[in-house]
Chains A and B, each alone.
Chain A
Amino acid sequence: MRNLSRRQILQWIGASSLIGGLGFPFTGFAKTGARIVVLGGGFGGATCAKYLRRFDSSLQVTLIEQNTQFITCPFSNAVIGGLHNMEFITHKYDKLKSKSGINIINASAVGVDPVGKKVNLHNGESISYDRLVVSPGIDFQWDAIEGYDATASEVMPHAWKAGSQTVLLRKQLEAMPNGGTVIIAPPENPFRCPPGPYERASLIAHYLQQNKPKSKLLILDSKDKFSKQTLFQDAWDSFYRDIVEWVPAMDGGKITAVDVKNKTVIAAGEKHKADVINIIPPQKAGNIAHQAGLTNDKGWCPVDQKTFRSTQQKDIYVIGDASIAGKMPKSGYSANSQGKVCAAELVAELQGKTVGVSSWVNTCYSLITPDYGISVAAVYRLSEEGIVGVKDAGGVGPREVPVATRRKEAMYAEGWYRSITSDMFG
């Protein structure tokens, strides 16, 4: 201690007040009163808006969302399979307004002006910002499968954005005859919710088994492998051996065209006719991200891997499915986790500071039956290669477990849903 000069100590105090300023999750950030606009009120945007106000309650946070309520993709497979109703997956924004003090604007954004720093709305108004967080989710590459466009999706639903498409697919399943055929066609990577098509197949198979047991479900896949594959296939063998058939791309699974009028799809030159056809088309970042100049040639948004700041536009952050987030999957949990990191980094940036630790999590449950669940998880950290999963942690659950474990995971799937939606909207 003797060797310390006053000057050194003063330097310490200076340095640690910089860190100290970031102390609160709660109040420690200095108050900047900056205007933050968040585009998109889904898993990324709603979470980020809420946590921005937690980190700095002086921020003027405006959330722009085109819908007055949010219908989640997670658990929409349970609606399609008849286990839940639409109400279960529908959420309101009122608590974000009343409890978190967020200004909600229900309007669709038609453009971003990164130079003038404002968002233009469809009604002609524009909203100025100091910093913008873009969390637009996905849009579809309508040109990728011949004949499959927005109009075709009214006959062959994608149901990959939850809402009327979810209801349409459910109604088609209810209307199809016992002994009919369902086709699900998942896209190549990357896409929103990698295990989603296979959970959907499981829950549709469950519905068919209970109600239309002579029916078949064909998965025509554009890939040769998929998320949680071993666990899904083990479970299909146990529960749905006579119903589910998975055709990988190498065996002719890749769909190249659809014939809407004849309810037919074409994969590797072969025609497949079905009663219900669920096409999950290739995807890209939400349209507004393209308009704002945030996307690369692959259609997704490159971001600084620590902060989620766009590498292409100043003062704009991108989170959720639209962003390129290293090894993290495009999932609701990832977006929720990114929303919090982005909020802390943005608040720190406004004050010329940095956040010392970067840590993300993704956990994903899939239901095979109402009482049988499987999971995958990872803890993510920043490395020289970007965001990567911690080695020797995470992964899918073991193949051989007591049936009680699967039952617990099915129960936790719903627990997860209640928790994360409470974290976003509560």
Chain B
Amino acid sequence: MNRASISRLAFVVLAIVLLFPLLSQADDLRSAMLANPCAGCHGPDGDSPGSIPALNNLSAKYISISMKAFKSDQRSGTIMNRIAKGYSDEEIDLMAQYFEDVKKRR
């Protein structure tokens, strides 16, 4: 490896390090835009004041497994079977992480 390629590699590594948080911010917005409509039933940021289950006290893993089970009708709910079918598995994971992260953002 010559000097030029080392410096090139260093530049690439630096670029990735710089890029990463920016890319994950873009994911944050996507997650938020997917998760925001949930608030209509589950309360702002999943903080439900009434009879509908809150989401901000659940793990991403639990939300994700539940949503996928609703989506495939392995778990039966009232309305969630119909709602869950509106999202890809990847989107479900993003939303699940969003609600797990609510507390970190405060």
Contacts and interface: CB of A to CB of B under 8 A. Distances in A.
A377 B83 contact: yes
Interface in B1-42: 5, 8-9, 11-12, 15, 18-19, 21-26, 28-34, 36-42
Interface in A247-276: none
Contact of A9 (B12, B21, B36, B40): B12
Interface string A99-120: 0000000000000000000000
B82 interface: yes
Contacts of A394: 82-83, 85-86
A230 interface: no
B73 to A, nearest CB: 11
Contact of B22 (A17, A358, A377, A414): A17
A13 B52 contact: no
Contact of B19 (A13, A355, A420, A422): A13
Interface residues of A, number: 58
A357 B33 contact: yes
A207 interface: no
A404 to B, nearest CB: 10
A405 interface: yes
B33 A20 contact: no
A51 B78 contact: no
Contact of B78 (A19, A397, A417): A397
A23 B22 contact: yes
**Chain B interface helix/strand/loop/mixed:** helix
Interface stretch (A24-32, A149-157, A160-168): A24-32
Contact of B15 (A12, A28, A409): A12
Interface stretch (A57-65, A77-85, A336-344): A336-344
A86 interface: no
A28 B29 contact: yes
A363 B39 CA distance: 11
Interface in A108-147: none
Given A13-B18, A377-B79, A379-B83, A419 B12 contact: no
Nearest to A6: B11
Nearest to B30: A357
A363 B105 contact: no
Contact of B25 (A20, A341, A375, A395): A20
Nearest to B28: A23
A416 interface: yes
Interface in A275-304: none
B87 interface: yes
Contacts of A26: 28, 105
Given A344-B33, A414-B51, A363 B22 contact: no
A392 B32 CA distance: 24
A223 to B, nearest CB: 24
A178 B80 CA distance: 41
Contact of B86 (A19, A378, A416): A378
B66 interface: no
B25 A24 contact: yes
Interface string A378-397: 11000000000010111101
Interface string A330-350: 000100110011001000000
Interface in B46-60: 47-52
A1 B12 contact: yes
Contacts of A226: none
B90 to A, nearest CB: 12
B37 A377 contact: no
22 contacts: A9-B11, A9-B12, A16-B23, A19-B22, A19-B26, A20-B25, A22-B26, A23-B28, A25-B32, A25-B36, A344-B32, A357-B33, A357-B34, A359-B34, A361-B86, A363-B79, A378-B86, A412-B41, A416-B41, A418-B48, A420-B39, A420-B41
Interface of B: 5, 8-9, 11-12, 15, 18-19, 21-26, 28-34, 36-44, 47-52, 78-79, 82-87, 105
Interface of A: 1-2, 4, 6, 9, 12-13, 16-17, 19-26, 28, 51, 333, 336-337, 340-341, 344, 355-361, 363, 375, 377-379, 390, 392-395, 397, 405, 408-409, 411-412, 414-420, 422-423, 426
Given A2-B8, A418-B51, 14 more contacts: A2-B5, A9-B15, A20-B25, A20-B26, A25-B36, A336-B39, A337-B37, A359-B33, A361-B37, A379-B37, A394-B86, A411-B51, A419-B48, A423-B39
